[in-house]
């Protein structure tokens, strides 16, 4: 069932009830958006966005896959096509494999891929059963890729793929762990870059599906940035500019709980700490992967039986060895 003592997903009392509540909230968000019609949006922050759970087992901190349940509810309610865009640092493996042979669902994932980095998938994607159109797009990025590579992936792969698929509703997973200060990942996005990414996702929903948007938010492991990034997501979905200041009570909590000097505004960001040459190298390899995915996408529209995938530099190294 995927539960391994001492690993990332362990069995414990109350896990079913807690995970079921999360799933119920995300399905309720899907229902509200579908029933609400054009312009309806739902924001379901963590602990939602459990995109690693499979249909038959738990995985990667995720017991049940609320993203997949929300997506599955929509066709039953009348949606002909649903697009799922995963912009978390980790590959959306559970959602991809649950829907890899369902022509009604497009899954697009832009994520970090490196040797030893969880879940280690998203580089080679299998097709569905014979005759079933595949609707899977993956763009793996190397460690230290940042705003340049991620925003290029959004503009050159994510947006064209979703436009070609023409969904009735867009479900997104906007993980805060692509930020450079996240302790578990190595992508180097900034607050400014992530805010732009959020606003482009909202604009895409407005363009292709009358604004119907469900945001499952997703993970993030730095308490100093997570709340601010969720606030940026929510304000983008509401069409509001970032607030000029931050609540004094929150700033005091940052000082006392985290022992840090709090930022003065939502998008304030000191920038990545990694060497500029290292980050430039990450973006360079990332852009090469984006170009490969873009070329694959140009050969066939999503849903036409073609899988758009890119093999990362790490896998290529192993195959050459």
What number of CA atoms fall less than 13 Å from residue 19's CA on the CB side? 22
Name the active-site residue from 52, 91, 173, 180.
52
With 0-12 CB in 10 A as exposed, 13-18 as middle and 19+ as buried, what is 209? buried
Residue 52 annotated to the active site: yes
Rounded Cα distance, 202 and 223, in Å: 25
* Torsion on CA atoms 282, 288, 292, 294, rounded to nearest 10: 90
Residues marked active site are found at 52
């Amino acid at each position: 069932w995927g539960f391994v003592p001492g690993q990332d997903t362990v069995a414990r009392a109350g896990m079913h009830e807690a995970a079921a509540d999360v799933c119920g909230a995300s399905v309720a968000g899907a229902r509200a958006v579908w029933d609400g019609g054009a312009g309806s949006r739902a924001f379901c922050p963590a602990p939602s966005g459990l995109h690693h759970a499979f249909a038959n087992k738990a995985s990667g901190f995720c017991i049940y896959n609320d993203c997949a349940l929300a997506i599955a509810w929509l066709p039953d309610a009348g949606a002909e096509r649903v697009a799922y865009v995963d912009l978390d640092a980790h590959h959306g493996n559970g959602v991809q494999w649950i829907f890899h042979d369902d022509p009604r669902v497009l899954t697009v994932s832009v994520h970090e891929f490196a040797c030893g980095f969880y879940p280690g998938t998203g580089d080679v994607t299998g097709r569905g059963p014979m005759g079933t159109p595949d609707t899977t797009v993956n763009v793996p990025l190397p460690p230290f890729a940042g705003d340049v590579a991620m925003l290029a992936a959004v503009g050159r792969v994510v947006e064209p793929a979703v436009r070609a698929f023409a969904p009735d509703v867009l479900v997104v997973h906007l993980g805060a762990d692509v930020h450079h200060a996240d302790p578990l990942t190595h992508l180097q996005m900034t607050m400014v870059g992530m805010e732009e990414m959020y606003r482009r996702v909202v604009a895409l929903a407005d363009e292709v599906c009358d604004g119907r948007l469900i945001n499952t938010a997703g993970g993030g492991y730095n308490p100093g940035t997570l709340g601010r990034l969720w606030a940026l997501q929510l304000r983008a979905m509401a069409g509001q500019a970032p607030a000029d200041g931050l609540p004094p009570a929150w700033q005091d909590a940052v000082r006392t709980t985290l022992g840090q000097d709090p930022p003065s505004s939502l998008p304030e960001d000191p920038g990545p700490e990694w060497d500029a040459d290292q980050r430039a190298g990450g973006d360079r390899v990332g852009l090469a992967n984006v170009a490969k995915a873009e070329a694959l996408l140009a050969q066939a529209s999503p849903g036409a039986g073609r899988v758009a995938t890119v093999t990362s530099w790490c896998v290529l190294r192993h195959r050459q060895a």
